[in-house]
Structure 1
Amino acid sequence: MSDQLPVPLDPVEAALAQTPARVLAGRAGPAYRTATLLKLREDHAAARDAVHAEVDLVRDFGAELVARLQLFAVQTQAASKAEYLRRPDLGRKLSEAARDVIRAQCPAGCDVQVVVGDGLSATAVAVQVPALLALLQDGAAARGWSFGRPFFVRHCRVGVMNDVGALLSPAVVVLLVGERPGLATAESLSAYLAFRPRPGHTDADRNLISNIHGRGVGPADAVARVFALAEQFRAAGRSGVGITEGAAPQLDG
């Protein structure tokens, strides 16, 4: 055995290894170094592109997955991306045409209903969702739970879960939606979960798994957490405040 002590990490390298944030970047006079400035502009452009891009199911998910899951697309009451960004309220409500299509295409009363929404990052949806959809379908099958026909909602905000709950009455709704992109990544996705959501429910009635991306929560871990929460919802008969990951459910009554 060697008697030599391990060489300690350089303090700057140790700090940089812990975060993607722009710390200890140095400077050129009062300004950023050129490499830092160029990377900042690149990441800002990626974030803007993620917000303004549109999801194409076949291009982004692949024709095989779209066909296997019978994925289809509907839209909220926001008629365009510009209106969606100006009017968050319209992104929380399905259009009348969307309601008709969902009623006709999706079975009601399933144990799990997965919805995909573009949210504020089409990039995150394209990168993260294909793997998650397959794992969610497998996880439901392993538990003997019925899995509703998933669909994509364009110009989507989280509150659209309430309309889905009212239309289809699933036990658990899982919304996979693009997070607001930052300068660390434009590929981060959130999974919002709710037990029997209905109009009038708020964020207090929902649970969230965030930071699903390559440097954050991986697909397998995210899906395991989704089903662990769903099992707690079913046992407690509710979701939201009072439901904590890893905790034993507190039963109503």
Structure 2
Amino acid sequence: MNELDFLKQHTPARIGVGRTGTRPLTKDSLSFRIDHAAAVDAVYGEVSQDLLDQMGLFTVETRYGSKERYLKRPDQGRLLSEEGEKLIIEKCILRPQVQIVISDGLSASAIQKNILDVYPTLLDSLSVYNLSAGTAFFLKGGRVGCMDAIGELLQPEAFVLLIGERPGLVSAESLSAYMCYRPQKGTKESDRMVISNIHQRGTPPVEAAAHIGTMIHKMLEQKTSGVGLDI
């Protein structure tokens, strides 16, 4: 086996693709178009209401307005709509140990494909450490910084945001889990932690969820997160 064949066996990246003259082979061109279409569908898709109903999640919206505005104005995905703030105050437990929020982010496909494995396992992992979760909900049009706005309202000890990652040509179904101790307005990015690349061909969803529970346990023990956490 030559070095190129060895590398191709160990990465899903497009390396060593064939060409005919200056053009890629038909099979490689079609593969690219399929993966690009999946990425577009992930960004512009919607998490099904049936799935949200199955999980018992109500929906809160940010100020994203529309998908086009969401892509052009990331700041609007960090802010809650007025109606969203009212729903959170009305329906959520105040000052929970752990607040879990699920958001489509940049990939609705990530939620559709992974959340039924991640969410129940995360709850199980928290229960192993005798930790309780507050009222989970679905946040439409969310960005990572929305943790701070929600943290201001609910004042959780620890926060977990399960959010769809920006899709690429390797996977359009990748989920990230962002964690933070007592998030609030002005929280620094260095105070957040993340487990990314959660999908069947990356970090297995069940394994990732179990690890999230362990990280939350350490955060609450040490009363910190991010670069200050001793892991």
Contact 1:206–1:240 at 8 Å: present in 2 too?
yes
The superposition leaves residues 118-155 of structure 1 with CA deviations (integer Å, 9 ceiling, x where unpaired) of 11111111111121111112222222211111100101
Which aligned pairs between 1:101-180 and structure 2 lie closer than 5 A? 101-180=87-166
Task: Give the aligned partner of residue 17 of structure 2.
Answer: 25
Residue 34 of structure 2 corresponds to residue 42 of structure 1: yes
Read off the aligned partner of 1:36 and give its amino acid letter: D
Query: Which one has the bigger helix percentage?
Result: 2
What displacement does 1:157 show?
0.3
The equivalent of 2:190 in structure 1 is 204
The answer on whether the counterparts of 1:73 and 1:154 sit within 8 Å (CA) in structure 2 is: yes
Query: Aligned pair count?
Result: 231
SS in 1 for 2:128: helix
SS in 1 for 2:160: strand
Cα deviation digits, residues 3-25 of structure 1 (max 9, x gap): xxxxxx45444221100011111
1:219 aligns with: 205
CA deviation after TM superposition for structure 1 residue 62, in Å: 6.5
Match of 2:67 in 1: 81
Structure 1 runs (4+) greater than 6 angstroms displaced:
none
Give TM-score, length-normalised by structure 1. Answer: 0.87
Show structure 2 runs of 5+ residues with no match: none
TM-superposed CA distance for 1:113, in Å, is: 1.0
Question: How far has the Cα of 1:179 moved from its partner?
Answer: 0.4
Letter in 1 for 2:90: A
- Deviation sequence 1:193-213 (CA, Å, 0-9, x none): 001100111321100000001
- Look up the equivalent residue of 2:21 and give its one-letter code: G
CA distance in 2, matches of 1:217, 1:148: 26
Tell me if the contact between 1:116 and 1:152 (Cα under 8 Å) persists in the aligned partners: yes
Over the matched positions of the two proteins, sequence identity in percent amounts to 42
Shift of 1:237: 1.1
Q: Distance in 1 between matches of 2:206 and 2:46?
A: 26
Match of 2:8 in 1: 16
Please say if residues 121 and 210 of structure 2, whose CA atoms lie closer than 8 Å, have aligned partners that are also in contact: no
| Structure ranking higher on relative contact order (CA contacts 8 Å, 6+ apart) | 2
Partner of 2:217: 231
Contact 1:159 1:202 in 2 (8 A): no
Aligned AA for 1:43?
Answer: D
